[in-house]
Amino acid sequence: MGIERVILAAPRGFCAGVDRAIDIVNIALELYGTPVYVRKEIVHNAHVVQELRGRGAVFVDQLDEVPDGARVIFSAHGIGPAVRAQAAAKGLRVIDATCPLVTKVHLEALKFAREGRVILLVGHAGHDEVIGTMGHAQGQMVLVGSVEEAEQVRVPDPERVAVITQTTLSIDDTREIIAVLKRRFPKAVFPPKDDICYATQNRQMAVKEMAGSVDLLLVIGSPNSSNSMRLVEVAQAVGVRAHLIDDVSEIDPRWLEGVRTVGITAGASAPEHLVQETVAFFQPMGVSRVEELDGIREDVVFALPPEIQRDLPAGSKAARSLRVLGRP
Residue numbers annotated as active site? 129
Are β-strands 241-245 and 261-266 bridged in parallel, bridged antiparallel, or unpaired? unpaired
**Rounded to whole angstroms, how far apart are CA atoms 293 and 300?**
20
Return the amino acid letter for 178.
I
**Rounded to whole angstroms, how far apart are CA atoms 50 and 69?**
25
Contacts of 232 (CB under 8 A, 6+ apart): 217, 219, 242, 243, 244
- The four Cα atoms 243, 247, 252, 256 give a dihedral, to 10 degrees, of 70
Long-range contacts of 273-277 (CB under 8 A, 24+ apart): 273/328, 274/47, 274/220, 274/247, 274/248, 275/8, 275/12, 275/13, 275/220, 277/247, 277/248
Main-chain dihedrals φ then ψ at residue 148, nearest 5 degrees: -60, -45
